């Protein structure tokens, strides 16, 4: 049934436009004049920002690749002690935001920090500070971001390895390949799209990271954007810098796509698939595999948890001072409202695209979700800019009351920006669920007398319920951890675990930041555990 503008089409169009507003705002900065700061920036820090961003990106991508692919390879192809535990335990790193990792890293290695205390208790008084390595600055940022983000590469690569057919591995053996050659010539290249997808997510998150780079005082493009807005009040320049960032990320995608040419990577789902037989590791190989996974699990999850737990225990006053009920209910209120809005609208938009089969809508949708690469700060700023412009015009031309309080410093405004930020996650989740439903399924339903609404209700919703649950939980984890948007958009005195931890940390009260950080990690971990089966499968 050809393109038809109906209620589904219209809804999908409006949703995509709302999500696309910040991107349009960001790119519109090219047509506006910037303040004098642009000259200052060009002559002073711009090159530093770019250089630091590139170093940070290279470091994080290298580390996440090694950790993510290494762990995925070991747990997918080999059997060694604890392998079933590591399969899901390694994804717990998702619960630790980079900024909390940064607090832990600093707290442990700083002068007279936790490492110092441990050594003092074990060995007595001594000048240990000189011998304890310091992980701060760029190195600290790379480590913090890598250990909190490698999960993306691990999960996607593991799923790809999981679905790799034994035939492929046997083919390598048939051709006389050694294990190393099979890994580099067959296994790794066939998982390339998954690895690249994981690394792309890592790249976007790294370039838009604010919490940990600002904590370590590393000046990246994101910091530059923040300075342009906060210190120099030059929103146009902030937007222009964001668009450079966006173009850079898109450029990476294009290069990767071109380099793939027309190679096909997917395995046919019909026939030809043979489940893998895992290889038992013995002796030192088994110990090495165990140690590698243990080390990654310890560094990515146990280390920050123990550090925060340690401080929470030795400084119980900060924990007792927390209004836990308020923090928990505030966080969960945001989670609940955002998830409902995101899932509902992503569902409507995807169904609209599906029934209208419009290429225009599809393109608009793809364009709008690329906003995921825009740093949270910029989304918030772009949103405030847009509302201020709208407000001014409405007062001037329509004579209405100001609408700012509805959108700025309100739960509603905060939820709206969350919606724009996380729409791509919700949309892609529903979309990938829909991709598994052949069009002829819908057509069969129509031909059995089911209307579009009835088909949606009786066929699609039951089929996608697991996808929806998974997306809901992933969104929950992201929203619990989200920092910059919450900081900027929240109502006055409205605190979540993330903002509470950040505010203490920014005041150099790391020990006070421990309790909200720990609770944040524990709540996120619970949600990860609920959904680990789905995350590992999909």
Partner 1 sequence: MTKNFLEINNVTFAASAQSKVNNVSLTIENQGDIVCLLGPSGIGKTTILRTIAGLEKIQSGKIILKNKILSSDKTHIEPENRNISMGFQDNSLFPHYTVLENIKFGADRNKKKKKGLNLNEINKLLHIEHIVDKYPHQISSGEAQRASLARSLLSNPDLLLLDEPLSNVDQNFKEEIQVKLKQILTEHKITTIIVTHDSYEAFYLGTKCGIILDGQLKQYDDPYNVYHFPNSIEVVNFLNRGILIPAKVTGENSLENDDLGTITGDFIKHYPKGSEVQLLLQPEDLEHDDQSNLKLEVVDRKFRGTNFIYTLKTTSNKLIPVFVHSHHIHQHEVDEKFGIKRPINIDHIVCF
Which residues are near partner 1 by CB under 8 A? 1-2, 436-438, 440-441, 443-451, 459, 462-463
The string of DSSP codes covering 96-158 is S-HHHHHHHHHHHHSTTSHHHHHHHHHH-S---TTTS----HHHHHHHHHHHHHHHHHHHHHH
- Min dist CB 365 to partner 1, Å, is 23
Tell me the two tokens of residue 143: 């480590």
Q: Between 277 and 444, whose beta carbon lies closer to partner 1?
A: 444
Q: Between 347 and 372, whose beta carbon lies closer to partner 1?
A: 347
Q: Between 179 and 537, whose beta carbon lies closer to partner 1?
A: 537
What is the rounded CA–CA span in Å between residue 261 and residue 254?
11
- Min dist CB 184 to partner 1, Å, is 34
Q: Between 313 and 441, whose beta carbon lies closer to partner 1?
A: 441
- Min dist CB 471 to partner 1, Å, is 17
Q: Between 285 and 533, whose beta carbon lies closer to partner 1?
A: 533
Distance from first CA to last CA of the chain, Å, rounded? 31
Q: Between 287 and 448, whose beta carbon lies closer to partner 1?
A: 448
Measuring CA to CA, which residue among 308, 226, 324, 335 is closest to residue 505?
308
- Min dist CB 193 to partner 1, Å, is 24
- Min dist CB 450 to partner 1, Å, is 6
Torsion of CA 216, 218, 223, 224, to 10 degrees: 160
Q: Between 7 and 47, whose beta carbon lies closer to partner 1?
A: 7
Placement of tokens 């590469």 in the chain: 153
- Min dist CB 461 to partner 1, Å, is 10
Instruction: List for the chain the helix, strand, coil content (%; round to 5).
Output: 80, 0, 20
The H or E element that residue 8 is part of is helix 7-28
Q: Between 269 and 493, whose beta carbon lies closer to partner 1?
A: 269
C-alpha distances in Å from residue 475, one per residue of 52, 60, 260, 342, 427: 30, 23, 31, 9, 11
- Min dist CB 466 to partner 1, Å, is 9
**Given its phi and psi angles, is residue 133 left (phi above 0), alpha (psi -120 to 50 degrees) or beta?**
beta
- Min dist CB 270 to partner 1, Å, is 8
The H or E element that residue 279 is part of is strand 279-280
What is the rounded CA–CA span in Å between residue 51 and residue 37?
19
Q: Between 132 and 445, whose beta carbon lies closer to partner 1?
A: 445
What is the rounded CA–CA span in Å between residue 79 and residue 277?
10
Q: Between 387 and 459, whose beta carbon lies closer to partner 1?
A: 459
What is the rounded CA–CA span in Å between residue 363 and residue 309?
47
- Min dist CB 443 to partner 1, Å, is 5
- Min dist CB 344 to partner 1, Å, is 21
Q: How many helices (H) and strands (E) does the chain have?
A: 28, 2
The string of DSSP codes covering 30-49 is GGS---THHHHHHHTTHHHH
């Amino acid at each position: 049934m050809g393109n038809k503008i109906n209620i589904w089409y219209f809804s999908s169009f409006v949703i995509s436009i709302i999500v696309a507003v910040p991107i349009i705002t960001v790119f519109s900065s090219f047509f506006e004049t910037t303040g004098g700061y642009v000259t200052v920036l060009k002559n002073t820090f711009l090159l530093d920002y770019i250089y630091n961003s590139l170093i940070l990106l290279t470091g994080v991508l290298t580390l996440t690749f090694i950790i993510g692919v290494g762990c995925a390879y070991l747990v997918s192809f080999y059997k060694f002690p604890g392998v079933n535990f590591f399969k899901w335990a390694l994804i717990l790193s998702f619960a630790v935001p980079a900024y909390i990792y940064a607090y832990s890293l600093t707290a442990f290695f700083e002068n007279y920090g936790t490492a110092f205390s441990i050594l003092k208790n074990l060995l007595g008084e001594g000048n240990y500070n000189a011998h304890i390595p310091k992980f701060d600055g760029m190195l600290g940022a790379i480590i913090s971001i890598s250990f909190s983000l490698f999960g993306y590469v691990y999960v996607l690569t593991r799923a790809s390895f999981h679905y790799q057919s034994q035939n492929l591995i046997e083919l390598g053996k048939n051709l006389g390949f050694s294990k190393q050659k099979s890994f580099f010539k067959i296994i790794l290249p066939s998982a390339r799209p998954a690895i690249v997808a994981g690394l792309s997510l890592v790249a976007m998150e790294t370039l838009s990271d604010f919490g940990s780079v600002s904590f370590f005082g590393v000046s990246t493009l994101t910091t530059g954007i923040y300075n342009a807005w906060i210190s120099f009040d030059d929103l146009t320049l902030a937007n222009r810098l964001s668009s450079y960032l966006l173009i850079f990320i898109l450029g990476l995608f294009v290069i990767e796509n071109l380099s793939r040419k027309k190679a096909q990577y997917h395995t046919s789902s019909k026939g030809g698939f043979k489940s893998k037989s895992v290889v038992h590791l013995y002796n030192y190989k088994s110990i090495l595999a165990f140690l590698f996974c243990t080390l990654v699990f310890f560094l990515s999850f146990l280390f920050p948890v123990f550090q925060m737990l340690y401080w929470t225990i030795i400084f119980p006053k900060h924990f007792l001072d927390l209004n836990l009920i308020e923090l928990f209910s505030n966080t969960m209120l945001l989670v609940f409202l955002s998830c409902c809005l995101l899932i509902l609208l992503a569902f409507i938009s995807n169904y609209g695209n599906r029934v209208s089969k419009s290429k225009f809508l599809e393109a608009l949708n793809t364009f709008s979700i690329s906003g995921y690469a825009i740093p949270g700060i910029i989304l918030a700023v772009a949103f405030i800019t847009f509302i201020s412009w709208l407000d001014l015009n409405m007062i001037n031309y329509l004579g209405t009351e100001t609408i700012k309080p509805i959108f700025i410093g309100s739960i509603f405004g905060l939820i709206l920006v969350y919606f724009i930020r996380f729409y791509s996650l919700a949309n892609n989740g529903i979309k990938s669920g829909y991709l598994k439903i052949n069009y002829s399924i819908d057509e069969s339903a129509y031909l059995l007398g089911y209307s579009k609404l009835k088909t949606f209700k009786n066929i699609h919703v039951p089929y996608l319920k697991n996808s929806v649950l998974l997306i809901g939980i992933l969104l929950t984890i992201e929203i619990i951890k989200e920092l910059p948007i919450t900081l900027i958009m929240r109502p006055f005195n409205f605190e979540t675990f993330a903002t509470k931890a950040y505010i203490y940390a920014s005041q150099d009260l790391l020990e006070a930041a421990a309790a909200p950080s720990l609770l944040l990690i524990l709540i996120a971990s619970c949600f990860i555990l609920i959904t680990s089966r789905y995350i590992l499968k999909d």
